[in-house]
Structure 1
C-alpha cells in the first residue's frame, strides 16, 4: 500500500538501496517521497531497516545505490550540497548525543555550528545565535535549565535538550531515530507530543522511527511500515489493519484477529532481539 506521489515533495529517494559488509541487505531498492509539514513514522521490528532508511536521508548511512534528492538543494551527490542539506536537516537521537559536562545552553548552541566556518565556530557564538538557542530551550520548557550541566538533568529533560538543539538549526526537516526508546511510557508520550506540536507550529517535516505501534497510531500523519528491508505499508494510520500489521510484524496470516493483536502488541514493545540486526551491524 503506497501513498500517492505529489509534484512538490520536500525530500525524495529514488531506487535507494543499502547493503552492509558481508552482504547484509538493510534496504532493498526503494523509492518514496516525503511531503512538507508531514509527521512520518517509520514502523517495524528491530532490524527491519528503519534506522538505515532514516539515516540515509542525510547520508549518515551512505546508500549503496540510488539517490536522495532535496527539493531545495538537489541530489546529495557532492559535499557542498550535502553540507547545505544537513544544515537544514536536524537529527534527534535515541541516546541524545549530548556533551554531558556542558550546560544545556552550550549543547543547544551546537545546533548553530553549521552556519559558521570552522574558525568562526572557535569563538563565542554571536548574540543572534544565543537568542535562538535560548528561545529553543524555552519552547521545550527548559529555559530555567539553560546553565545546568546536562548530566544533572533527567533522561526526558536531556531528550528535550536534544530537540532544542535540533530546533536551533532552524530546520525544514527533523529526523528522529528511536527518540523515546530509552524513556519510560509517560515521558515518551510527553516527548512525542512536544515534538509533533513543534513540527506542526513550524511546518517542519518529521521522519521518526519507532517500535511502538500505539505511538505510531496516535502521532503519525503517515505510517511507513518496514519488514525484511523493504516498505510493506505506506498510508495514513486509519488504513493500518490487522493484515497490514501482520506484514510489518512478520506474523503468520493464519492467526486469528485476537492472536494477531496480542502478538503484535508484544513484538512492538520488544526492544532486544537475539539475532544481530542490520542496525547493530551499522553501529558496530
Structure 2
C-alpha cells in the first residue's frame, strides 16, 4: 500500500463469435474511465478469445521504499477503520437469482466502481501502521493477515457497515460459495459469542472492497477531518489489542 498508479495494461478475455462487440467496447471504456480517474496512463494490453468474459488491469505504480505500508505492523490501541460497506458478495449472488431490484443494483455498482484513491490519500495524511484492502478473503481473512500471530483485534459487530439488503438475502440462502469457504478456513481464528449476521458478513468475499487500516488513536481526529474535507465515508469498526494474539474478537 501507499503507491501511486502510473501505468496500466488491459487484460481481456472475450469471444466476438458469442457476444456483440459493443459489449467489449463498453468494458474497455469503463476500464479507461477508471484508469484516467486514477491518474494513470493506458499503455496497451492483451486479449484472448474466450467464451467466458474476463477483464482486468495490470497496474504499475511508484512509492518511496521508506513509505511502503505493509499489511502488518498494527500496534495495540490503533483504531481499525474500514472505508466501504460489506455485503457485495451476498448482493451479487442475489443478482444472479434475480432477487435484487434495480435501485439496489445501481447503488452496489456505484460502490464497487468507486476507486480507493481518496481513502489512500486520507490514509497517507496520518500515521498509519498497517493497511490492506478487503477482497476475496472477506473482512476476516484480510484482518487475519493484519494480526498474524503478533497481535489481536476486537471488532465491534454493531459498527460493521453493510448493505441492508444483504440481511434478507442471506436469510433466504443467497450466500456465495466463497463465504462458506472463508468461514471454514478462518473460523478457528474468530472468537464470537453471537454467530448471527454480523458473524456471517465478516466472511463475505468482497468485490472492489474498501481499505482496512490501523490508524494511531491520536490521529483519528485528523483522519476524520481530512475524510470530511474530501467526502470520504469511513467506519471505525474496532481496535487492535495486545491479547489474544492471532485472534479476532467479534463483540
Q: Which has the higher contact order (CA 8 A, sep 6+)?
A: 2
Report the TM-score range of the alignment, normalised by the length of the smaller protein. under 0.3
Give TM-score scaled by structure 2 length.
0.26
